């Protein structure tokens, strides 16, 4: 599973790497200009500053503490409903989606109020279980950390955290296992992954989108 996860993440990230590399020079120029204009600028939500790992630790703690206000600092609202795939984990009912659209001026945007409304379903319980199992001394091998296999869960899964240096992206991947057929044989067709992607810049980690892959 670990090897397959590595290949999957590389495939997902490579699809957007060219776009992110094109944006890098623009971001760097904008950052330099902003800092030159304001030497007292404060780097948000990195405590203490020390790269993506320190920022991830802050995000992890906020998620486990159910500190929604803190988690929101890792988002740049509004999100684009389609490109960010915000409904992937929420899975709204037809009634909920109809009511949501009826109250929106722009149904292409998922704003802070929407995030607050659906927060309890935005982050999968399996993601929180995986983060909780991650010890402070956890070590990354080739940029990846993998949890134990949660075979006792309602939906058996394994959790992976990875950082891709080329695209500067952090991935939180809930990898659900397949099922067994009537004869007890493992069926891989049921495997799928829900991946939360965050982009890293000097200002910190920012949520990018969710990806579902099978």
Q: Whole-model pTM? A: 0.77
Specify whether the CB–CB gap between 157 and 177 falls below 8 A. yes
pLDDT under 50 in the chain at which residues?
A: 2-3, 5-7, 10, 16, 19-20, 22-49
Residue 41: left if φ>0, alpha if ψ -120 to 50, beta else—which one? beta
Can you give the pLDDT at residue 11? Answer: 52
Can you give the pLDDT at residue 188? Answer: 77
For 78, counting Cβ atoms within 10 Å of its Cβ (0-12 exposed, 13-18 middle, 19+ buried), the class is middle
Can you give the pLDDT at residue 41? Answer: 36
DSSP 8-state class, residue 141: B
Can you give the pLDDT at residue 57? Answer: 95
For the stretch 149-174, pLDDT in tens is: 999 999 999 999 999 999 999 999 99
Can you give the pLDDT at residue 42? Answer: 36
Can you give the pLDDT at residue 141? Answer: 85
Q: Which two tokens stand for residue 211?
A: 């990806």
CA–CA distance from 112 to each of 72, 77, 130, 203 (Å)?
A: 8, 6, 26, 20
Among all chains, which residue has been given the structure tokens 């009826």? 102
């Amino acid at each position: 599973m670990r090897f397959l996860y590595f290949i999957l993440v590389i495939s997902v990230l490579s699809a957007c790497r060219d776009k992110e590399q094109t944006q890098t020079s623009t971001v760097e120029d904008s950052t330099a200009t902003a800092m030159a204009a304001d030497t007292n600028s404060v780097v948000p939500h990195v405590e203490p500053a020390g790269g993506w790992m320190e920022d991830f630790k802050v995000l992890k703690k906020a998620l486990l503490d159910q500190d929604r206000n803190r988690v929101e600092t890792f988002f740049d609202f509004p999100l684009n409903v389609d490109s960010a795939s915000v409904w992937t984990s929420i899975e709204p009912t037809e009634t909920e989606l109809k009511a949501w659209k009826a109250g929106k001026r722009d149904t292409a945007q998922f704003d802070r109020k929407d995030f607050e409304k659906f927060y309890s379903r935005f982050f999968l319980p399996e993601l929180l279980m995986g983060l909780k199992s991650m010890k402070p001394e956890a070590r990354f091998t080739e940029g990846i950390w993998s949890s134990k296999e949660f075979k006792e869960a309602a939906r058996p899964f394994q959790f992976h955290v990875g950082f891709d240096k080329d695209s500067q992206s952090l991935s939180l991947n809930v990898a659900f296992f397949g099922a067994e057929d009537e004869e007890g044989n493992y069926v891989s067709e049921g495997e799928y992954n829900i991946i939360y992607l965050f982009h890293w810049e000097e200002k910190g980690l920012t949520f990018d989108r969710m990806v579902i892959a099978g």
